[in-house]
Amino acid sequence: MRAIIRQILVLSILAAIPALISAYIHRDLFQTPPLAPDETTWEQTAAWQRAAATRILLIDARDDNAYAAAHAPGALPLNEAHWERQLPAVIEALGAAADTRIVVYCDDTLCGASRAVAVRLRRELGHTDIFVLKGGWRSR
Amino acid sequence: MHTPLHILAMTFIKCPRALRILPGALVIVFAQTTALALDWTRTEIEHRAGIGETLPLYQFTFKNTGDRPVVITNIRPSCGCLAPMPDKETYAPGETGSIAVTFDRAGLVGEVTRTIAITTDEKNRKEPYQLTLRANLPEPLTIAPRLVFWKSRSPAATKSIDITINGGGPVEIERATSNRDDIGAALVTLEPGRRYRLDITPRDTETPRLAIITLQPAVPLPAGTTLTAYAQVR
């Protein structure tokens, strides 16, 4: 009996060693990356909207078909493929309130369109209060 | 049925001296858990395009340096402007492959960075491989800033927008027109064919409104060239 227990213990230890090494190597699996300074979440955006101190303008950076299928309430479409056509509506919306915070989203974490749109809005319009929504539309 | 681990464990129990091989075994385990099967020739491509140039086909090549076949399970470009296409789906050990990428520059200007996430069936890899395309897509002309604005009831002072002709030959701008009579735009030539200035003045700042100012070049410019600026009372 003692021999069996000893074998089980040894087996468990032997199995644990590579498991611990693997867990250490892939430790990012267990960690949620922190938000970058210009990133936000749906929860934070909703809190900003409830606080009402700053008007929130949601920008949908996905392609036109995705926007037409579904989008966040009040979101305006703006993607680089149709930039010139869609930009005037965004400028109009920016002018509707003194202080407006823009939150740009695209599809998910692998989608870079929201960041590209945010960069271009900063460059072309000089608007600096812009956040990128981490996780995008699929994280709602 | 004895698993390899069971056999290994029993070996250690029956012959403690076999524990001497344990450090070597751990090194092998470590190497197995960190090895990447796909060895890419390059994961970044930089390209400086000419004005109006159609972008070439970009190739990312790799070799499967692992000891198992690798299946590409998903390819995800960061925008609809990229169309990545692998030459096949499964790559045997030692086999080389490539991802060909077409890049539609429509609507894109300036320094543009786009990525492609390549997911494979490798068990020990959580993150996809990331390929990056950095393109410099010069515009025939730069309008900066593209938007000037006045807060409601602030002084209706003139604000300026700079227009710079980039590279190539000179481009004469003949005129600038505002789509609203109550926001005027005057084109000032600083250096013929090279540098201009738009002076924009609202008649008043009582009413919120948006004007679109359009530049008229003397010669046609490549399709998609930005020729508009915005002036807004907000």
What's chain A's average pLDDT?
88
The alpha carbon of B113 is separated from its chain's Cα centroid by a whole number of angstroms, namely 2
The Cα–Cα gap between A57 and B153 comes to 23
Superfamily name and number for B38-137: Immunoglobulins (2.60.40.10)
User: Which chain B residues touch A83 with a CB distance below 8 Å?
Assistant: 107
Residues 6+ apart with CB under 8 A from B9: A7, A10, A11, A14
**In chain B, where the domains are located:** 38-137, 141-233
Among A92, A94, A113, the residue with its CB nearest the CB of B78 is A113
Among A17, A29, A92, the residue with its CB nearest the CB of B126 is A29
Give residue A112's pLDDT.
Answer: 81
> Would you say the CATH fold of B141-233 matches that of B38-137?
yes
pLDDT of residue B4 exceeding 60: no
Give residue B17's pLDDT.
Answer: 65
The alpha-carbon gap from B231 to the nearest alpha carbon of chain A, in Å, equals: 9
pLDDT of residue B205 exceeding 70: yes
User: Which chain B residues touch A18 with a CB distance below 8 Å?
Assistant: 26, 29, 33
Residues of A (51-110) whose Cβ lies below 8 Å from B: 63, 79-84, 87-88, 91-92, 94-96, 98, 110
Residue B129 near residue B115, CB atoms below 8 Å: no
Residues A39-48: tens digit of each pLDDT: 999 999 999 9
Among B104, B114, B233, the residue with its CB nearest the CB of A112 is B114
Question: A123 touching B, CB under 8 A?
Answer: yes
Residues B11-46: tens digit of each pLDDT: 666 766 666 666 665 555 555 555 569 999 999 999
Question: A25 touching B, CB under 8 A?
Answer: yes
Higher pLDDT, B3 or B162: B162
Band (pLDDT 50/70/90 cuts) for residue B139 is: confident
H helices of A1-140, in order, are 2-25, 42-51, 64-69, 83-94, 113-125
The Cα–Cα gap between A118 and A61 comes to 9
Among A95, A98, A111, the residue with its CB nearest the CB of B210 is A95
Output b/e per residue, B74-87; b: 16+ Cβ within 10 A. ebbbbbbbbebebe
Higher pLDDT, A110 or B64: B64
Question: Looking at the domain B141-233, which fold is it?
Answer: Immunoglobulin-like (2.60.40)
User: Which chain A residues touch B6 with a CB distance below 8 Å?
Assistant: 11
